Amino acid sequence: MNILGFESSCDETGVAIVNTEQGLLAHAVHSQIDMHKAYGGVVPELASRDHIRRVLPLTYDVLKNASLTIEDIDAVAFTAGPGLSGALLVTASVAQAFAWSHDLPTIPIHHLEGHLLSPMLSPEVPEFPFVALLVSGGHTQLMRVDAVGQYELLGETLDDAAGEAFDKSAKLMGLPYPGGPHLAKLAQGGDPNRFQLPRPLKHSPNLDFSFSGLKTAVLTTLRKLEKEGEVSAQDYSDLAAATETAIVDVLGYKSIKAMKQSGLKRLVVAGGVGANIHLRSFLEKQMAKLGGEVFFPPLALCTDNGAMIAHAASERVKAGLVDLTERNYSTRIRTRWDLAEI
């Protein structure tokens, strides 16, 4: 069956079609980075309005690229949460209206489940069970995944997420939005050992994270440099390298700790920060030492996209978790939603 999937939880509009047997047929994403750049972050009202403008043209493009028509769609999936309320409402409304007008079932999907299962869109598909490191936007979590829909929270951030630590630190350094990729690029020419930044909760007995202290340390370091004189380009590069190294160190250490505690040999990394080259390299080396494997989604699917939503819906259908005879066109969006609840 062909599943049409929609994603608009924040600042990307994504549409995709996944066939339950053939996999991903086509997908398209529009990023709002250029629009929000002038404000230094996502403006929810502007995000919602842009989703409205983009969703139907993207849908037509995806149908064309998949060589399908509207009549070929068998079910419609959409992100029901978590995310920005106005943004979520756009594709939730479009998806449910589309399904109602064609008497199709709807499949509401948890945004993080989409990320969690996105590495299964790679050529090498991880088998269950596995440990997953979710590092997406405002979320940093370690999950044990025994099957589709069977998720156990192992640890999560107590304050800022890793992505927020990247973006907020980058903003302190005067880098443009979104800061994470710019900070990683700046770090390439820096010395990660020049500044000793903290690794909050790295050696705590649990698997929780904390990154707010790191952001504060970056600010303190910058102020100290400013008092000593003009901050040079090399100063910024060194601080960026130290920041990236601290974040990767904590994420990597906790992930390997989770692997050892669980006794599992497969680690899945998903979400925007999963595109970080240093994090990928660190985890690949550490998992090799453990005799295990690490899986990542394709780089193009690390950020929010419709493919992960349509794919998650496909996996839920194949797992028998969706009643395709039900017609529910009044599903509410949820700005906050614990993944363990689904």
User: Binding site membership: which residues?
Assistant: 111, 115, 134-138, 167, 180, 276, 304
H/E stretch holding 300 reads none
Task: For 302, list phi and psi in degrees, rounded to 5.
Answer: -75, -40
Burial of 341 (0-12, 13-18, 19+ CB in 10 A): exposed
Q: Annotated binding site for substrate: which residue ranges?
A: 134-138, 167, 180, 276
Name residue 14's beta-bridge partners.
Answer: 7, 29
> Which of 121, 34, 47 lies closest to 91 in space, CA to CA?
47
Distance, CA of 91 to CA of 248 (rounded, Å) = 34
> At which residue do the structure tokens 């990154």 appear?
211
Q: Annotated binding site for Fe cation: which residue ranges?
A: 111, 115, 304
Distance, CA of 73 to CA of 99 (rounded, Å) = 9
Residue 122: C-alpha distances to residues 27, 110, 165, 276 (Å): 15, 20, 28, 17
Distance, CA of 180 to CA of 273 (rounded, Å) = 8
80 touches 108 (CB < 8 A): yes
Task: For 70, list phi and psi in degrees, rounded to 5.
Answer: -60, -35
Per-residue DSSP letters for 192-253? TTSS----TTTT-SSS-B--HHHHHHHHHHHHHHHHHSPPPHHHHHHHHHHHHHHHHHHHHH
Coil, strand or helix at 303: coil
